[in-house]
Structure 1
Amino acid sequence: MRKGESMGLTEKEAAERLKTEGENVFGESRKTGPMKIFLGQFKDIMVMILLAATVVSVLLGEISDAVTIILIVLLNAILGFVQEYRTEHTLEALRSMTSPTAKCWRDGRLSEIDAAFLVTGDIIELEAGDRIPADCAVLKAAGFFSDESILTGESTAVGKTAGDASDRDNSLNKPNIVYCGASAVKGTCRAEVIATGKNTQMGRISEMLTDIDKEATPLQKRLAELGKVVAVICLVVCIAVFGAGVLRGENVFDMLMTGITIAIAAIPEGLPATVTIALALAVSRMMKQKALVNKLHSVETLGCTSVICSDKTGTITENKMTVTEIATVHEDYYFSGMGYRVSGAVTKGGDIAINPMNEKALTESLRCGVICSTAEISTQETPKSRNRGALAGKGEWKVTGDPTEAALLIAAAKAGITKESLSGNCRIIEEYPFDSETRFMAVHCSYGSEKRIYFKGAEEVILPRCSQYMDENGRPAAMTAAVRRGLEEKAGEMSDKALRVLALAVCTSDKLEPDRGNLVFLGFAGMTDPPREEAKTAIRKCASASVKTVMITGDHKKTAVAVAAKAGLLKGGMAITGAELDKLSDEELDRDIGKYTVFARVEPVHKLRIVKSFKRRGEIVTMTGDGVNDAPAVKEADVGVAMGVTGTDVTKQAADVILMDDNLATLVNAVEQGRCVYANIRKFVRYLLSCNIGEVLTMFLGIVMGMPIILLPVQILLVNLVTDGLPAIALGMEKPESDIMNRPPRRSDEGFFSGGLMWKIVLRGVLIGLSTLASFTTVMRLGGSVEVCRTCALITLVVSQLIHVFECRSERRSIFRMNPFGNMKLVGAAAVSFAVLAAAVMIPQLQVVFSTVAPDIIQLLAAIGFSIAVPLLAAFF
């Protein structure tokens, strides 16, 4: 140790460096103020068109229209504001990233200080359970292991040792460096701070996020496209009405005002609010399914996801080491029950139930694993043993300590061996801790009438020191060359299955001799970080929905491939490492990236490059992750998804969606909701535009034909406010169609009116307009007054629209093939709209307001008859 290191810095030195270096914090993401969030709701092109229409309405003296439009725009803005503001507060509650304190040497004394005040040169002390507050060079370590999965994706804790005193390079994956944000799992460590704040590995990743700009979502692009279409329609209507009137000899100014008035009527005022309500309802449903949505529009973007880039550790896997196999010289034993689940069983040869107590080598191997462990496991309820070798219980073990040692304890518990059951016969005398240099652990204990040393460590360290092995009868037997060769081959086979292999051995000795040979080999313990069962299901569902799922991990290629195969991800795909990626140009990567389903040994910059490559190919990319190393790619993706339980604060901040239960199945539900939202938006856009085209066509043809005004402004206002808005909102609550997840996602460049939607809208709008006009002229020929004609036209317009709303429930099935009561909210909305129409026509006080009169039975039948004719005529097109 260099001079002064044990004493650390003085408070004066630290204060001077703090002024120069700044506090040990990351660049705080600028919080969006409430006013900025609210004003951001007015950037939508449709909202801008409505605001322009409001100004024109005021200039024309149509104050009621202007007030109505302003109220709708404000409703839309308030809904969007409430959602985003609520999300900001939820994210605040989730923040728990950096360690608040650090044990630091100052002025020769060890004291606890705010981690934000650490500077380079500070000497800190770390022990199991600590969050590492800065990037540090290890000065001294005793069995110290760090969990760096949030930075590297490695699921296994990494051993740390002191290195070259002059080495201050804080690159990733160095054994002599501990990294900010990682956690101490085991042992103790003294380290010197070499980088703080933005200069740490975590800080650099945080800085990468500021260089990523979010693009408009596919829905925002489609709505902008729709806004342009509406603007063009308004302009064309205005010019057409103006031109037709002038040609008829009408006053130029009057016709200009009339044209502008009808053009404003063509604007679907309720569309922005209806879209926002539909998205907000989807957000509410997703929240109930444990998914928190940051931005409203990201809900719909999930629906057109074509590629999911998933992190491995903690996302596809459980991030819980599990012993799946123990191999002795004569037999292989298998353990069921993944992760920390209490229930599980031990079998021989794969499926033969056993009594572990009769399997001497197995029992001694498990006993060795329990004794060579400083971890602890516990449950609220004592698990029941159905029979020897099988354990039944609800829930999971509560684990403290090293995950590898906990896995051995859980495996032993399935065979009925626990620390408590051994305490009567076994007393630990002394322990030689696991060290990353020696790569083994030894425990000296008195067991019954003799003293033993149990060893646990790397296969290549323990096996060469074994001169004997335990046979089937529990007696030592000579280790022949053939047996040794067989054990080496077995260890290789287990490694090929991506199992982490530990060797277990024992010897008798009166004192602790960690370096002695002549050990008795007991067995190999093979463990893995198992795939989540729900992740397997989610991956299958994504495949059926034509969504490609790829795994991106910092783990070794062999491990990644094995996990991918178990999770159902491989299936003909290839694997590639970060080093191999570096050899490919962007053009080569874009050409070949579709071949790969596994990306191993990747760093944050690789993840970012992979996401960008998929996006350049026109894919809509969803990136899931929990670690800081995932954050840049999560932010770059079209939809970033963070894990709410295991996810780091940086990743949650970068994400659009946060899975509160870390369950990939929740993501699949979110994809389904996204598809449903877009389908529903198309449904009510179809409905609203068809209705507006019908209204405009009615007014336009009436003027062209020299007829009295078909509908008065107050009557059009009634239609737009009540009979358009409520059913449209109810359409936004339509449930997903049964086959929605069996269809491929829509292309990112697919237009809003694809699939013949525009033809359907125009056709139905024309039919609604013609039937309304026909109703007016028919009643006039029957001798009705202008007021009665207008009333009948109003009835035909509203009823034909209410019939049409049920047609809009599906683009694939006709109204005659759908259950009319499949969406009871829509039935209720239609009933309310019809009741409002009936009240406006029948109640005397409202007749005065809306200039209506009650028609006789023949006139009423004519009006309703023309409404029913619309879907019948549409069936022929």
Structure 2
Amino acid sequence: MNEKEIEGGLTQVEAERRLKKYGLNTIEKKKGVSPVKIFFSQFNDFITWILIVATVISGFMGEKADAITILIIVVMNAILGFVQEFKTERSLETLKELASPTSKVLRDGKIKVINAQELVMGDIVFLESGDKIPADCILLSRGNFMVDESLLTGESEGVSKSSSGKNNSIYMGTVVIKGKGKARVVQTGMETEMGKIAGMLQDIEKDRSPLKEKLTSLGKVLVVVCIVICIIVTLAGVWRGQDKYEMFLVGVSLAVAAIPEGLAAIVTVALALGVSRMLKRNALVRKLPAVETLGCTSIICSDKTGTLTENKMTVKALYFNGKMHKSDTGKLPDNTMMKKAFTYCNDCNFDIKKVDISEALMGDPTETALIKAFFKDARALKKFMDKAERVYDIPFDSDRKMMSVIMKEGSKKVCYVKGAPERVINKCKYILDRGQVRLLTAGEKNRVLKAVENMTSSALRCIAAAYKDSKVAAGRTLETNLIFIGIAGIIDPPRKEAKDAVLKCKLAGIRPVMITGDHKNTAFAIGKELDICSSQSQVITGEELDKLNDRQLSDKIQKISIFARVNPGHKLRIVKAFKARNNIVAMTGDGVNDAPAVKEADIGICMGISGTDVTKEASSMILLDDNFATIVSAVEEGRVIYDNIRKFIRYLLSCNLGEVLTMLLSSIFYLDTPLLPIQILMVNLATDGLPAVALGVDPPEGDIMKGKPRAKNESIFARGLSEKIIVRGALIGVCTVFSFVMGLYLGFGLKTARTMALCTLIISQLIHVFECRSEKHSIFQINLFTNLYLLAAVATSIIMLLCTIYVPFLQMVFHTSPLVVSQWFIVLFFSGIIALLNSLYLYFKSNN
């Protein structure tokens, strides 16, 4: 690789040529389930096979029309199931691609973030602590660089790497645990060491949803109950002297229609659709069970910078020579030593081709803000940087809260340090005052800390600068006996949408908690502006946290809204303390040290922009925009999904119960069979498929974020749902039987009475689907046009019903007869009377 490619990276054209030649940077993996296999799995059901065998026998016995129609209905049901499952598989595959690692790469002289799959040999990549190395590389930059190679070697000790010597190779799948560096890709995909042993982990896990597990178990119980009832119906018919074969077919058809075999599948569909909606709101869910837990969230622990604030840093004040210098315009006095400290002790990259410094700089917002305070032109910055050479560095560490570099300026070496003021000042023995170095007295130190107090009270984030220029050597004594230079005060305004999101949390019974490494006063000023807290008593620092044992912290934590000056280790204690008080905790993080807390939380959330690969893997959800409002939107979506699951469970089970009771009651009261096998299957096709799925995309009710979070262990049938299912299912069955009996009583004939029963059963279920859209409001209070999918599904079902009773060919197939107006009046009365009365009850209840 030539020097030009190292300096400016590959051109995009050359990268595309190499990608085409060598292929994607991926490890070969097992193929997913094929569409053909998904389709045929829809028939993998004992009852369905019995029905198929029975209808084939029926065909040989002369009932060919019935047999063919039943088989067509079975196939149509399988197609509906296939579409649902295939869409779910595709949704999960799409999520897997979205969650794949990204890499910071140099292309055409610019740093770009690309999918790691698109890396090619020769690419220059930038790595930092917490990043998973995307390909086999050669380290180019010098510095304190350490890698965890346990995935390859099994050794837990970190391995130091250097750009000089033999120990400069770093491998795909291993993790940077210390330092920042630049590396050149030498192997990709299956040619890497990881590829040779085929050991790459997948990012998206196919977790089984706990709710799906519960509903699968419930489904098994319902199967047994339905089969028992179907056997009773069959035996009762035979005992009354009806045709044995016909009653056998009735029993099997009823079992096919009544057993909610799609219950667990529809849960997965609802979760997958919800995940897709979350993605549109910039929340990428990595694990499906997280969707269920989101609706239970009672505490959201959020980082401040970039999540609650805009992460658009601007230096507004400088403190040096014992004086404060403030500016609202960005014009601040020049200070050579401060300029050197904040420019050299900085990991920003910049594009020399761009003149404007704001456009040229790339890197951490805090670091870019420090450079913009002293430079307006990228060429001036380049000229300044060329005056010195970085020899050694100790990267910023969230525990140390400092960064140090050794720069070679001509013949001498100088150590520059930047970091949290209280940490830096404690490392200083001297102070630079108007160009003169003198001892740092206790009084001077107190004046510095007082200046910090004043700046942080104005919501300024403070960064201190120091240096030393005699006998500098890399070692334990590097950051000792420093010379204090001054402090930069940086403003990071709160996000405009954050205050509304905080209010939304409080109305929803969720406590927003701020966690930051910033000064206590800065955190309080921002927290008060966002209405997270109202007094200093609700703020605690990491130092104060260390003085509390776990029990004391657990007792106190419910009153704390802001944690300031904390390190990642504190985050884990915070999560555990909140969980000890039976809270469901969402915790954000980005750095490698945040991973334990993110993993411990009920909902681990990683920052998509600033988050490291290690933290992303530990998380349940990734924020693509690093925005607190997105977390609240995800919680809202979690509640919506759970409510929608309750809606279609209510709908499916009450309707299936109505079908079973229709046949059972007719047997108990010695009535003729109100529905033939093919009519039972028609009910199943018209009502169980599309309407139930359409409920899965029902929009939220307006007050969904105005109630308390549900308990994590709450039954899906809690809050009266089981009673609603049983009562409404029983009424559907009773009304269908009454419609059938009325048809017989008025002398319409058995065929017409059965048609009336068929219409009553289907229409009552289609009316009930609208009732299921809300547990608190009546049909009169719901805007029917907010779910067009449901309207389309119901319209399709009604058209299917009308075709079966008015199209001559289908009349023969389904054994129906056309209904006249008086008969439709009876059908509509029995289909709608219960829904009407229930809606009137809910309407008056909500208005009184």
Q: Which amino acid aligns with 2:707?
A: R
- Deviation (angstroms), 1:538: 3.9
Q: 1:756-780 deviations in whole A, cap 9, x for unaligned?
A: 1122222222222222111111122
Tell me which of 20, 32, 35 is aligned to 1:34: 32
Alignment partner, residue 719 of structure 1: 683
When residues 33 and 595 of structure 1 are mapped into structure 2, their CA distance, relative to the original with a 3 A threshold, is farther
Q: CA RMSD in A?
A: 5.6
User: Secondary structure of the equivalent of 2:774?
Assistant: coil
Alignment partner, residue 451 of structure 2: 490
When residues 305 and 324 of structure 1 are mapped into structure 2, their CA distance, relative to the original with a 3 A threshold, is same
Q: Which amino acid aligns with 2:141?
A: L
Instruction: Tell me if structure 1 keeps the 8 A contact 2:208–2:288.
Output: no
Q: Which amino acid aligns with 1:542?
A: C
Alignment partner, residue 54 of structure 1: 48
Alignment partner, residue 705 of structure 2: 741
Distance 1:639 1:59 in 2: 48
Alignment partner, residue 508 of structure 2: 545
Instruction: Tell me if structure 2 keeps the 8 A contact 1:306–1:548.
Output: yes
User: Secondary structure of the equivalent of 1:711?
Assistant: coil
Tell me which of 85, 89, 101 is aligned to 1:81: 89
When residues 322 and 259 of structure 1 are mapped into structure 2, their CA distance, relative to the original with a 3 A threshold, is same
Instruction: Tell me if structure 2 keeps the 8 A contact 1:309–1:552.
Output: yes
Alignment partner, residue 681 of structure 1: 645
Alignment partner, residue 141 of structure 2: 126
When residues 481 and 373 of structure 1 are mapped into structure 2, their CA distance, relative to the original with a 3 A threshold, is same
Listed as ranges, the matches of 1:586-605 within 5 Å are 594=558
When residues 230 and 632 of structure 1 are mapped into structure 2, their CA distance, relative to the original with a 3 A threshold, is farther
Q: Which amino acid aligns with 1:326?
A: L
Instruction: Tell me which moved more, 737-746 or 81-90.
Output: 81-90
Distance 1:821 1:832 in 2: 16
Distance 1:811 1:116 in 2: 56
When residues 303 and 694 of structure 1 are mapped into structure 2, their CA distance, relative to the original with a 3 A threshold, is same
Alignment partner, residue 800 of structure 1: 764
User: Secondary structure of the equivalent of 1:363?
Assistant: coil
Q: 1:704-745 deviations in whole A, cap 9, x for unaligned?
A: 222221011211212211233222222222211111112111
Instruction: Tell me if structure 2 keeps the 8 A contact 1:322–1:530.
Output: no
Distance 1:777 1:770 in 2: 10
1:219 aligns to 2:211 (yes or no):
yes
Q: Which amino acid aligns with 1:410?
A: K
When residues 455 and 819 of structure 1 are mapped into structure 2, their CA distance, relative to the original with a 3 A threshold, is closer
1:500 aligns to 2:462 (yes or no):
yes
User: Secondary structure of the equivalent of 2:176?
Assistant: coil
Instruction: Tell me which moved more, 839-848 or 55-64.
Output: 55-64
- Deviation (angstroms), 1:785: 1.7
Alignment partner, residue 390 of structure 1: none
When residues 677 and 653 of structure 1 are mapped into structure 2, their CA distance, relative to the original with a 3 A threshold, is same
Q: Which amino acid aligns with 2:451?
A: K
Tell me which of 173, 180, 204 is aligned to 2:176: 180
- Deviation (angstroms), 1:865: 2.2
Alignment partner, residue 91 of structure 1: 99
User: Secondary structure of the equivalent of 2:317?
Assistant: strand
User: Secondary structure of the equivalent of 1:661?
Assistant: coil
Q: 1:214-267 deviations in whole A, cap 9, x for unaligned?
A: 986453355246425524642552465367568868899987875555344321
- Deviation (angstroms), 1:595: 5.2
Distance 1:302 1:563 in 2: 26
Alignment partner, residue 771 of structure 1: 735
Q: Which amino acid aligns with 1:80?
A: T
User: Secondary structure of the equivalent of 1:740?
Assistant: coil
Instruction: Tell me if structure 2 keeps the 8 A contact 1:72–1:270.
Output: no
Instruction: Tell me if structure 2 keeps the 8 A contact 1:38–1:81.
Output: no
- Deviation (angstroms), 1:847: 1.0
Count of residues in correspondence between the two structures: 717
Alignment partner, residue 369 of structure 1: 339
User: Secondary structure of the equivalent of 2:816?
Assistant: coil
TM-score between the two structures when normalised by the length of structure 1:
0.66
User: Secondary structure of the equivalent of 1:126?
Assistant: coil
Distance 2:81 2:547 in 1: 50
When residues 538 and 860 of structure 1 are mapped into structure 2, their CA distance, relative to the original with a 3 A threshold, is closer
- Deviation (angstroms), 1:287: 2.4
- Deviation (angstroms), 1:810: 1.0
1:300 aligns to 2:292 (yes or no):
yes
When residues 116 and 531 of structure 1 are mapped into structure 2, their CA distance, relative to the original with a 3 A threshold, is farther
Instruction: Tell me if structure 2 keeps the 8 A contact 1:371–1:419.
Output: no
Listed as ranges, the matches of 1:60-459 within 5 Å are 60-61=54-55, 64=71, 67=75, 70-92=78-100, 94=102, 96=116, 126-127=141-142, 135=158, 180-184=176-180, 217-224=209-216, 226-227=218-219, 230-231=222-223, 233-234=225-226, 237-238=229-230, 240-241=232-233, 259=251, 261-310=253-302, 315=307, 322-327=314-319, 332-334=324-326, 345=329, 362-365=332-335, 369=339, 373-374=343-344, 397-400=359-362, 406-412=368-374
When residues 561 and 55 of structure 1 are mapped into structure 2, their CA distance, relative to the original with a 3 A threshold, is farther
TM-score between the two structures when normalised by the length of structure 2:
0.68
Distance 1:309 1:39 in 2: 44
Q: Which amino acid aligns with 2:92?
A: E
- Deviation (angstroms), 1:604: 7.1
Alignment partner, residue 803 of structure 2: 839
When residues 382 and 864 of structure 1 are mapped into structure 2, their CA distance, relative to the original with a 3 A threshold, is farther
The sequence identity of aligned pairs, in percent, is 39
Alignment partner, residue 189 of structure 1: none
Distance 2:547 2:709 in 1: 31
Q: Which amino acid aligns with 2:294?
A: L
Distance 1:99 1:317 in 2: 36
Instruction: Tell me if structure 1 keeps the 8 A contact 2:523–2:564.
Output: yes
- Deviation (angstroms), 1:850: 1.2
When residues 101 and 248 of structure 1 are mapped into structure 2, their CA distance, relative to the original with a 3 A threshold, is same
Alignment partner, residue 19 of structure 2: none
Distance 2:555 2:449 in 1: 41
User: Secondary structure of the equivalent of 1:502?
Assistant: strand
- Deviation (angstroms), 1:747: 0.7
User: Secondary structure of the equivalent of 1:821?
Assistant: helix
Distance 1:314 1:841 in 2: 62
Distance 1:125 1:412 in 2: 29
Q: Which amino acid aligns with 1:717?
A: L
When residues 603 and 409 of structure 1 are mapped into structure 2, their CA distance, relative to the original with a 3 A threshold, is closer
Listed as ranges, the matches of 1:407-806 within 5 Å are 407-412=369-374, 464-466=430-432, 468=434, 486-487=447-448, 489-491=450-452, 494=455, 499-502=461-464, 524-527=487-490, 537-550=500-513, 569=532, 573=538, 575=540, 577=542, 584=549, 594=558, 611=575, 618-806=582-770
Query: What residue ranges of structure 1 are gaps of 5+ in the alignment?
Result: 1-27, 104-112, 119-123, 142-178, 187-196, 199-205, 337-344, 347-355, 357-361, 384-392, 446-452, 471-478, 506-519
Distance 1:438 1:250 in 2: 89
Q: 1:773-816 deviations in whole A, cap 9, x for unaligned?
A: 11111122222121111111112222222222222211111112
- Deviation (angstroms), 1:321: 6.0
Instruction: Tell me if structure 2 keeps the 8 A contact 1:626–1:648.
Output: yes
Alignment partner, residue 9 of structure 2: none
Q: Which amino acid aligns with 1:78?
A: F
Q: Which amino acid aligns with 1:86?
A: T
When residues 489 and 78 of structure 1 are mapped into structure 2, their CA distance, relative to the original with a 3 A threshold, is closer
Q: 1:113-153 deviations in whole A, cap 9, x for unaligned?
A: 998599xxxxx773489897874569999xxxxxxxxxxxx
When residues 366 and 378 of structure 1 are mapped into structure 2, their CA distance, relative to the original with a 3 A threshold, is farther
Instruction: Tell me if structure 1 keeps the 8 A contact 2:293–2:712.
Output: no
- Deviation (angstroms), 1:831: 1.8
Instruction: Tell me if structure 2 keeps the 8 A contact 1:101–1:115.
Output: no
Instruction: Tell me if structure 1 keeps the 8 A contact 2:608–2:622.
Output: yes
1:863 aligns to 2:833 (yes or no):
no
